[in-house]
Amino acid sequence: MRRALPGLALLAALLLVPFALRPPLSQSNADASRRLVILTPHNEAIRYELTRGFRLYLAAHGQPEAAIDWRAPGGTTEIARYLASEYRSAFEHYFSQKLGRKLSERGAIAFADARQDPGGSDDAALARRTFLASNVGIKIDLLFGGGSFDFSQHAAAGRLVDSGVQARHPELFGAGGIPQMLGGEPYWDKQGRWVGACVSGFGICYSPQALARLGITKVPKRWSDLTDPRLFGQVALADPSKSGSANKAFEMLVQQAMGEAMAAAGNPTAGTPAEAAALGQGFDAGMRLIRRIGGVSRYFSDQASKVTQDIQSGSAAAGMCIDFYGRFESDLPGPGSRLRFALPEGGSSMGADPIGLLRGAPHAELAKEFIDFVLSPEGQALWSYKLGVTGGPDRYALRRTSILPAMFAPERRPFLSDPDDNPYRSAQGFTYHGAWTGPLFRSLSFVIRLMCVDTEIELHAAAAALTKNQNPPRANAAFDDMSLVSYTVVKDEIAPALASGDPLREVALQNRLVTALKQQYERVAELAERHE
Amino acid sequence: MSRAVRRPSALLLPLVATIFGVFFLWPLVESLRGAFVDQQGRFTLAYVSAVFQNPIYLLGFRNSLAVACGATAISALLGIPLALLFQRWEFPWRRPLAALVSLPLFVPPFVGALGIQRLLGPSGALNAFLRHLGLSDPSAPVDWLRDGRYFAVIALTALHLYPVLYFNLSASLANQSAELERAAEMLGAHGLRKLWRVTLPLSAPSLFASLTIIFIWSLTELGVPLLCDYDRVTSVQIFVGLKDIGQNPFVYGLVTVALVATVGLYTLSRLLLRRLDATAGVKGAARHERRRAGRLGQWLMTSFALLVLGAGALPNLAVVLLASSSDWYQTVLPSGFTLDHYKAALGHALVVPSIAQSLRYVSLSTTLDLILGFTIAWVVVRSRAPGRKLLDALSMLPLSVPGLVLAFGYLAISREGRPLSMFNPMRDPTVLLVIAYAMRRLPFVLRSAEAGLLQMSHSVEDAAQSLGAGPQRVIWRVTLPLVLPHLAAGGLFAFALSMLEVSDSLILAQQQQHFPITKAIFELSQLNGEGRMLAAALGVWAMLLLASSVWVARRLVGDQSRGFSDV
């Protein structure tokens, strides 16, 4: 025992230090009589500021205090799986209690399937109908944070319900308020099941030092600047199959190329073969650009913070990142000087980061008060105001962009952390055409994953061989050949397969395309090495 | 088989099988159900068979096998000489160096990754060092983690895992009787011949146990390939698939195939190495005295130990430097030092409750592991109960199940209306977290306990019985004390790895008051700006806590048990 005393003393000291440094508990709201449960991927900084802000808001409006129980089981994909499995279980329980019989496996799949017609008489339709008419809940009130794509999926499944915010605050959604769509991005759900709480978008971040080392003097301003072969292995990208927002950024890139092709063709009339040809050429050009960027990529990451971290530490030279990460990190003293952030010219979109009321919310009234708070000027100031200004955040500057147009009024400019980042102004330079790529949104991430992520090693080998051998013509043409994933293939073959809801059909397509793309890249490398 | 063994094993086998079935197989089946049900709710094997039609996944399997073979071989090349060196020889700094062996196990994986990038990235410390020596072109720095990432994955995995082999073999060597080696020497066997024909065969169960763990762990290792951005291995392909928005059941098919492959490989290796079990070593009273080589030999030994231990402790060193740095870019050492990150991290409101929770969860889970691990090992080694070998093989499964898969399985079996709803983590995740930690780390304790029992001669227990001791008394007074060093070595791994467990903690601990320390570190790492430095600082604190806990355990257990104080 005596031999262990020095170790025990060290252990005791280690355990004491955090207790000695512990902050006072005055900010705890655990004693409040009302309780709100929120499921969120938001980080501790946002949770802290909004908890504090909501307490002040309730006090200012003469409302009783409320405690917020934040539930954070991970990022948006973990939350999606969590919600799916929790609702399934809750509904199975409800179904057996209400109808006195066990929910069939078919019903368990169909009850939250937006494609399921609730009007039929089979098990699946009965399950769907019963779920939509029910108040089945999972003891959580709100879903807060993610992308509009994720929220649209949850809303379509029936997990989100109308919070009534549009009826309570019509002024927020009318003329001069939050538009329903901006630059192709939905900002609120027409049925009130979710509404944007703030906005964010993907931009280009880069290290001036790393670019100089690679001999690149031109600052990247467009997505196409990321195809420079000197950037080989140095471009950090976000994975579109993991993030709806990242996929939206790639969709914008494709839309930009389609817009250019249409302009070059003299903007042919809608529905004509000329328009179809121009759109096909533009789509293929956009996908070709993505393949070129993929050829010099370092990775496609699902971690929002990894890209800026790697560029700051010198592991990558450039990449795509969410705006508030880029802005915040580039302002850091010291390491911040190694990171610059810019929204790409003409190819950016600012998407909503929503909030929505979950079906069966146990504290629905308090949840609605919270939504009202988030959309109020007081709540919006927490996202976008500088640290320390009146009405702004207390401990963390969140560097998020407000969704309320009124927050960009000239008199508020001095308070904003980033007064020049105004989504309502930047969207004016870009017209989104939903009909061009909207129905292909999921197909786009599917194709990018097969074309750049699953076949990454062969793609990199092909790109390296092309650069090494100075782009021999046949090899170059083979690399740019998009026939495997052309507009026609994506529209007529891939999109219907993904929409069929048949995983086996999707898997068969995936296996066939991966094999073919792998062979295409290996062929490119062979041709390049033979200088053909 | 004597009645003294048959009667307890008849009771214990169903008991442990039930516990294992309810808390591991059931949640696993719940989680993997999607791999076997089609859109119409009918049973199908189509998703599983589709795995074999995808060339990328087949390559992933092949690469995973190659990584596992490479990492196991390198771990053996590092761990066996190191264990022999520390157990059989005296050389300068032996004791302080021995304390460093466990360091690679004490660093939280994602925090270690942050540190390694600062060392081996293009603008990292190694390139800065080479530049100072004039060996690197500043305009074209080597990207160590990316350019040779296949070999980087193998090397980093081996450096992370060789302590598993070291600890198990050390426990075995410390308990070997010196008489057998002396007898071999008298018969003319010296040096490598003695090592090959006597010493290593006597430690065969420990060697087999640790090499099996290292092989399966490397086969399913996720952190290292993710660090090197190497996604063509099965573990990363599963991880990527689980995070996919589309939620295709195909990924569960992939998990199923990986699980079956793991059990198959384990069973195959047991069949191939079955003979080793029969050559179990003998524990005896005569203890080995450490020998002294000449002065040059001694310093060569110190240099070898320093080289291996230094390489293994690189992530720890890098994390300490990162947490203490104001900035670290293109320099060998940080350009400035500060304690601010420690102060901010340890003073954060999340931290104090998470420390208390982690200690509570992990002490309970390690205790459960020790009870279950010893019980299963005893049934497997000492009894002939039917089904014991199946239980043994199944007990290795937790090594190859992704934490996320199991965590969602636990959620599924504890929802309202389900039989285990009283453990619903929405109310309090303690029970499920303790079980999740215990199940995932059970293979470490089990393999150690089995190795200890195999190395122990039956004759000692038989002698105790012939003197009138009942089965319980034999286990309590004879068997347990003799396998204690092995149990302690396995328990040490279970404790350290559970303290650093991430995926179960992320999913099951959802309310702030229930967060364990790893979730607190993860939350801090997500903060913009200084988040990564805060995570590194809290990581350093966790390393120190684990190191001192293990040191205290060694002193406490080592006082009563030969062997463990030496490992």
Q: What is the pLDDT of residues A325-343, one digit of tens each?
A: 888 888 777 777 889 998 8
Report the 3 state secondary structure along B368-427. Answer: HHHHHHHHHHHHHHHCCCCCHHHHHHHCCHHHHCCHHHHHHHHHHHCCCCCCCHHHCCCC
Chain A contact for B124 (CB, 8 A cutoff): yes
Predicted confidence (pLDDT) at residue B207 exceeds the cutoff of 80: yes
pLDDT at B98: 87
Report the 3 state secondary structure along A337-404. Answer: HHCEEECCCCCCCCEEEEEEEECCCCCHHHHHHHHHHHHCHHHHHHHHECCCCCCCCCCCCCCCEECC
Predicted confidence (pLDDT) at residue B284 exceeds the cutoff of 60: no
Picking from B37, B54, B121, the nearest residue to A315 by CB comes out as: B121
pLDDT at B564: 42
Backbone torsion region of residue A381, taken as left when φ is above 0, otherwise alpha when ψ lies between -120 and 50, otherwise beta: alpha
* Six-digit token string for A176: 């001069």
Q: Which of B317, B426, B432 is nearest to B364 (CA)?
A: B432
Alpha-carbon torsion angle A357, A362, A364, A365, nearest 10 = -160
> Distances in Å between the alpha carbon of A107 and those of A94, B39, B166?
13, 10, 53
Predicted confidence (pLDDT) at residue A418 exceeds the cutoff of 60: yes
* Six-digit token string for B203: 């430690």
Calpha distance A158→B405 (Å, rounded): 25
CB contact (8 A) between residue B243 and residue A504? no
Calpha distance A48→B473 (Å, rounded): 57
* Six-digit token string for B430: 């303690």
pLDDT at A429: 66
Picking from A11, A90, A511, the nearest residue to B549 by CB comes out as: A11
* For range B427-451, the mean pLDDT: 89
The angle that helices A364-375 and A44-60 make with each other, rounded to 10 degrees, is 100
How far does CA A383 lie from the centroid of its chain?
17
Calpha distance B112→B223 (Å, rounded): 9
* Six-digit token string for B252: 């569960």
> Distances in Å between the alpha carbon of B73 and those of B78, B89, B218, B223?
9, 24, 11, 20
Mutate to test the interface with A, among B31, B110, B421, B526 (most CBs of A within 10 A): B526
- Give exposure, A461-491, as e/b (b: 16+ Cβ within 10 Å): bbbbbbeebeebeebbebbeebeebbbebbb
Picking from A44, A105, A399, the nearest residue to B523 by CB comes out as: A44
Alpha-carbon torsion angle B509, B514, B519, B523, nearest 10 = 110
The full DSSP string for A103-152 is: PPHHHHHHTT-TTS-TTSSSHHHHHHHHHHTS----S--EEE-S-HHHHH
pLDDT at A344: 83
Chain B contact for A117 (CB, 8 A cutoff): no
Calpha distance B114→B483 (Å, rounded): 38
pLDDT at B566: 44
Mutate to test the interface with A, among B227, B234, B243 (most CBs of A within 10 A): B243
Predicted confidence (pLDDT) at residue A430 exceeds the cutoff of 80: no
Mean pLDDT of chain B: 82
> Distances in Å between the alpha carbon of A373 and those of A57, A61, A163, A354?
7, 10, 13, 14
Calpha distance B277→B257 (Å, rounded): 29
pLDDT at B454: 81
pLDDT per residue over A192-225, tens digit each?
Answer: 999 999 998 888 999 999 999 899 998 898 889 9
Query: Residue B297 CB: number of other CB atoms within 10 A?
Result: 13
* Six-digit token string for B364: 């309970």
* For range B201-222, the mean pLDDT: 83
Residues 6 or more apart from B137 whose CB is under 8 A from it?
Answer: none
Calpha distance B455→B180 (Å, rounded): 14
Residues 234-273 in B contacting A (C-alpha not used; CB under 8 Å): 240, 242-250
* Closest-CA residue of chain A to B342: A18
* Six-digit token string for B466: 């012939």
Q: Where are the alpha helices (DSSP H) in B176-230?
A: 178-186, 191-194, 200-202, 204-220, 223-227
Residues of B in contact with A105 (CB under 8 A): 37, 41-42
Calpha distance A481→A389 (Å, rounded): 55
Predicted confidence (pLDDT) at residue B74 exceeds the cutoff of 90: yes
3-class SS of residue B550: helix
pLDDT at B565: 42
Q: Where are the alpha helices (DSSP H) in B107-148?
A: 109-120, 125-132, 144-147
Calpha distance B220→B228 (Å, rounded): 15
* For range A374-388, the mean pLDDT: 94
Residues of B in contact with A93 (CB under 8 A): 415-417
Q: Which of B34, B243, B401 is nearest to A88 (CA)?
A: B34
Calpha distance B536→B341 (Å, rounded): 8
- Give exposure, B62-82, as e/b (b: 16+ Cβ within 10 Å): ebbbebbebbbebbbebbbeb
pLDDT at A428: 67
Calpha distance B430→B360 (Å, rounded): 9
CB contact (8 A) between residue B417 and residue A18? no
Task: Report which residue type is found at A120.
Answer: G
Q: Which of A174-183, B64-73, B471-480 has the lowest mean pLDDT?
A: B471-480
CB-facing half-sphere around the CA of A384: CA atoms within 13 A: 32
* For range B530-552, the mean pLDDT: 86
Q: How confident is the model at residue A324 (pLDDT cuts 50, 70, 90)?
A: confident
pLDDT at B558: 57
Predicted confidence (pLDDT) at residue A265 exceeds the cutoff of 90: yes
Q: Which of A217-221, B129-133, B146-150, B286-290 has the lowest mean pLDDT?
A: B286-290
CB contact (8 A) between residue B245 and residue A445? yes
> Which of B205-214, B291-300, B501-510 is the most confident on average?
B291-300
Predicted confidence (pLDDT) at residue B276 exceeds the cutoff of 60: no
Predicted confidence (pLDDT) at residue A30 exceeds the cutoff of 70: no
Strands A401-402 and B89-90, by their bridges, are: unpaired
Task: Report which residue type is found at B204.
Answer: A
pLDDT at B274: 62
Backbone torsion region of residue A188, taken as left when φ is above 0, otherwise alpha when ψ lies between -120 and 50, otherwise beta: beta
Given a contact cutoff of 8 angstroms between Cβ atoms, the answer to whether A415 and A391 are in contact is: yes
The pLDDT > 90 percentage for chain B reads 19
Task: Please report where in the chains the tokens 């309090």 appear, as a residue.
Answer: B428
The C-alpha of A30 sits at a distance from chain B's nearest C-alpha, in angstroms, of 11
Predicted confidence (pLDDT) at residue B4 exceeds the cutoff of 60: no
Of A45 and B526, the one with more pLDDT: A45
pLDDT at B559: 45
Residues 6 or more apart from B373 whose CB is under 8 A from it?
Answer: B442, B444, B445, B446, B448, B449, B487, B490
Calpha distance B328→B334 (Å, rounded): 4
Q: How confident is the model at residue B5 (pLDDT cuts 50, 70, 90)?
A: low
What is the DSSP secondary structure assignment for residue A449, as one 8-state letter? I
Residues 6 or more apart from A166 whose CB is under 8 A from it?
Answer: A172, A173, A188, A192, A195
* For range B380-405, the mean pLDDT: 79
Q: How confident is the model at residue B3 (pLDDT cuts 50, 70, 90)?
A: low
* Closest-CA residue of chain A to B543: A14
Task: Report which residue type is found at A389.
Answer: V
Given a contact cutoff of 8 angstroms between Cβ atoms, the answer to whether A343 and A221 are in contact is: no
Residues 6 or more apart from A481 whose CB is under 8 A from it?
Answer: A520
Mean pLDDT of chain A: 89
> Distances in Å between the alpha carbon of B22 and those of A88, B361, B419?
21, 19, 11
Chain B contact for A503 (CB, 8 A cutoff): yes
Residues of B in contact with A327 (CB under 8 A): none
Calpha distance A14→B546 (Å, rounded): 10
Chain A contact for B527 (CB, 8 A cutoff): yes
> Angle at the Cα of B300 (from B297 to B302), degrees rounded to 5?
110
Chain B contact for A244 (CB, 8 A cutoff): yes
Residues of B in contact with A302 (CB under 8 A): 240, 243
* Six-digit token string for B248: 């295709």
Residues 6 or more apart from B344 whose CB is under 8 A from it?
Answer: B530, B534, B537
pLDDT at B286: 59
Picking from B38, B355, B523, the nearest residue to A15 by CB comes out as: B355
Calpha distance A116→A114 (Å, rounded): 5
pLDDT at A175: 80
Calpha distance B70→A478 (Å, rounded): 37
Given a contact cutoff of 8 angstroms between Cβ atoms, the answer to whether B34 and B255 are in contact is: no
Task: Please report where in the chains the tokens 């947490």 appear, as a residue.
Answer: B323
CB contact (8 A) between residue B418 and residue A241? no
Task: Report which residue type is found at B259.
Answer: L
Calpha distance A473→B28 (Å, rounded): 53
Beta strands in B457-513 (DSSP E): none
Overall residue count recorded for chain A in this entry: 532
Calpha distance B518→B156 (Å, rounded): 22
